[in-house]
């Protein structure tokens, strides 16, 4: 991301607007998706990218990325291979391919910068972009996903809203390989029934503190003027 930034002129000031339109782009199963490109024999198979020796059932290898087929068996990032093999005996494991990930990440970022100069990188497979005034949310999200798919061969999920937090939460609704716009008028219905644990950055300790003041859901949190 920074290497791309260094090759570009400084971004112009953001255009004035009563309300911003922010995209959150998150590549689906990024490492797995990139590693599976061009390998038709892996289509429909449970696949994971691992760190360490994954050749044995008893292994210190750790899953870094698992595709959705593998996740159907309960696999997730950070799981040890011994547990993963028990849940999914047919699991196919692949090693890291950093050069391929770097190339795919660069392609993703270049597609975003082709649409707007106002891009903020989060990681190799995740970014925010201010697309205020560039079209309707659905049009922009569709264009971004199409460009990324054509350039990288991989799927991206995109959320869109009036700020970064809501855009990121919208992406969780969009996954996998979809898009979702969360406008202000839909916030209450979107929040309804959701725990504050669904907020990015709210872990066990923060959740306990919120529970102690009677806040367990997003709507309860929104109803607090100050916490």
Topology of the domain covering 31-94: MutS, DNA mismatch repair protein, domain I (3.40.1170)
pLDDT at position 225 is: 58
pTM reported for the whole predicted model: 0.88
**Highest-confidence segment of 53-57, 113-117, 191-195:** 113-117
pLDDT band at 145 (very low <50, low <70, confident <90, very high): very high
CA-angle at 90, arms to 88 and 94, nearest 5°? 95
Q: Which CATH code for domain 2-28+98-184? A: 3.30.70.270
pLDDT band at 227 (very low <50, low <70, confident <90, very high): very low
pLDDT of 58 above 60: no
Listed by start position, the domains of the chain span 2-28+98-184, 31-94, 192-222
Mean pLDDT of the chain: 91
Q: Is 185 a catalytic residue?
A: no
Q: What digits encode the pLDDT tens for the residues 6-15? A: 877 788 999 8
- Residue 15 DSSP label: P
- Catalytic member of 82, 126, 138, 211: 126
pLDDT at position 226 is: 54
pLDDT at position 3 is: 78
Whose tokens are 């925010």? That residue is 128
Q: What digits encode the pLDDT tens for the residues 70-121? A: 999 999 999 999 899 999 999 999 999 999 999 999 999 999 999 999 999 9
Domains 2-28+98-184 and 31-94 share a fold: no
Question: In this structure, are residues 127 and 5 in contact, taking their beta carbons and an 8 Å threshold?
Answer: no
Radius of gyration of the chain (CA): 19
Q: What digits encode the pLDDT tens for the residues 163-187? A: 999 999 999 999 999 999 999 999 9
């Amino acid at each position: 991301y920074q290497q791309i930034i260094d090759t570009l002129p400084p971004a112009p000031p953001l255009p004035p607007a009563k309300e911003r339109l922010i995209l959150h782009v998150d590549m689906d199963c990024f490492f797995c998706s990139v590693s599976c490109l061009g390998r038709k024999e892996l289509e429909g198979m449970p696949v994971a990218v691992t760190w360490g020796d994954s050749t044995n059932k008893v292994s210190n290898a750790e899953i870094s990325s698992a595709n959705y087929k593998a996740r159907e068996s309960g696999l997730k990032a950070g799981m040890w291979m011994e547990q993963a093999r028990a849940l999914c005996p047919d699991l196919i494991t692949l090693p890291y391919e950093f050069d391929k990930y770097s190339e795919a990440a660069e392609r993703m970022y270049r597609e975003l910068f082709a649409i707007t100069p106002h891009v903020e990188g989060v990681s190799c497979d995740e970014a925010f972009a201010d697309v205020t005034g560039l079209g309707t949310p659905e049009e922009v999200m569709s264009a971004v996903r199409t460009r990324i798919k054509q350039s990288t061969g991989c799927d991206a999920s995109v959320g869109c809203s009036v700020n970064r937090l809501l855009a990121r939460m919208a992406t969780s609704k969009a996954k996998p390989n979809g898009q979702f716009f969360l406008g202000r008028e839909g916030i209450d219905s979107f929040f309804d029934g959701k725990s504050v644990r669904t907020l990015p950055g709210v872990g066990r300790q923060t959740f306990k503190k919120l529970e102690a003041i009677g806040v367990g859901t997003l709507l309860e949190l929104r109803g607090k003027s100050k916490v």
